[in-house]
Structure 1
Amino acid sequence: MDDITIVPLTTEEELVEAFPIMNQLRTHLNQEEYLELVYESGAKERYQLLGLRDGDVLKAVIGFKPMITLYYGRSLWVCDLVTDKSARSKGYGDKLLTHVEQWGKKHNYESIALSSGLQRTTAHHFYEEKMDYSKVSIVFKKEF
């Protein structure tokens, strides 16, 4: 981890490179749907996708967006955070989340939040024990 860089992923080539990693979390998406959603959410909701490279190899990605709500005020919402399965437990997720937290502080946001699937107990441990996040709510969803 001597040559770690965190960079915005904006070009189609970069987004396509990130898809195999993102697809490990968002298994329901094919590459075409993924690209469509990244472009649309970027244009309409200011979604940003960042990649962490160790040397020349993309190892992890994080997607987030700034939000303003009455509940959280000015906050960041982490939509996606995933490290390639071959590179987990090496601190990449920590580095990405810390980077986004610092970005939020620099841009005058008050907090950062995310949701995590109930089955992702390892991720919950990471957020609570390593990153000092608190459970504050349960997210409900209804399909149309």
Structure 2
Amino acid sequence: MELTLTDVPVPGELLTAHVEPLIRVLRPALDADGFARFAAEAAGQGLVFTAALDPAGRCLGVAAHRVLATSRGRVLFVDDLVTSPAARSTGVGARLLAALAERGRAAGCVRIELDSGVQNHGAHRFYHARRMAVAAFHFTLDLHPERP
């Protein structure tokens, strides 16, 4: 499948029209205003949205990522990696992940890291097929338990 990978400006029309709907597939509790606030704040923290566009300009996948300095070394952290439901198993996610690996190497990163929800078995199969390992548990503590 022919794809063009492009970094998406924040704010911008491509972000709102194409990236936001895909991120919201992955994060359905995020409404339009919440996405706009998240994108603006996260971009200020170094988050980059990379979109995979088909020849017609349709966004088939998105990777939201940033380089982090950690005690484990420099890592390319993937906040979100999502493929359009209609384009799954067509190579879009693999192409995005390969591009992220290239970026990480160029940025001096020692690895790619990401979190995946424990219920997302399809994503787990995808990551395992690309030789990614389960290296840690990610624990959370809700600081506002009264909020849904």
* Range class of TM-score, shorter chain: over 0.9
Counterpart residue number, 1:32: 33
Count residues with an aligned counterpart.
140
Cα distance in structure 1, aligned partners of 2:109 and 2:60: 27
Aligned residue in 2 for 1:60:
61
Structure 1 unaligned segments of length 5 or more: list them. none
1:78-106 CA-partner distances (Å, limit 9, x unpaired): 00000111111101001001101101101
| Equivalence for 2:120 | 120
- Over the aligned positions, Cα root-mean-square deviation in angstroms equals 0.9
Would you identify which runs of 4 or more consecutive aligned residues in structure 1 move more than 6 Å?
Answer: none
Counterpart contact for 1:15–1:35, Cα < 8 Å:
no
> What CA distance in whole angstroms lies between the structure 2 residues aligned with 1:31 and 1:100?
26
Cα distance in structure 1, aligned partners of 2:12 and 2:54: 20
Q: Is the 8 A contact 1:48 1:64 kept in 2?
A: yes
Between the aligned partners of 1:14 and 1:32, the Cα distance in structure 2 is: 16
Which whole-Å CA distance do the structure 2 matches of 1:133 and 1:59 have between them?
A: 22
TM-score (structure 1 length as normaliser)? 0.93
**Corresponding position of 1:101:** 101
Partners of 2:14 and 2:37 lie apart in 1 by 14
Structure 2: stretches of 5+ with no match in the other structure: 144-148
In 1, the alpha carbon distance for the partners of 2:64 and 2:75 equals: 14
Structure 1 CA distance, aligned partners of 2:41 and 2:21?
20
Summarize deviations over 1:4-58 as a string: whole Å, max 9, x none.
1000111421111211111110111011111111111111x20100100011111
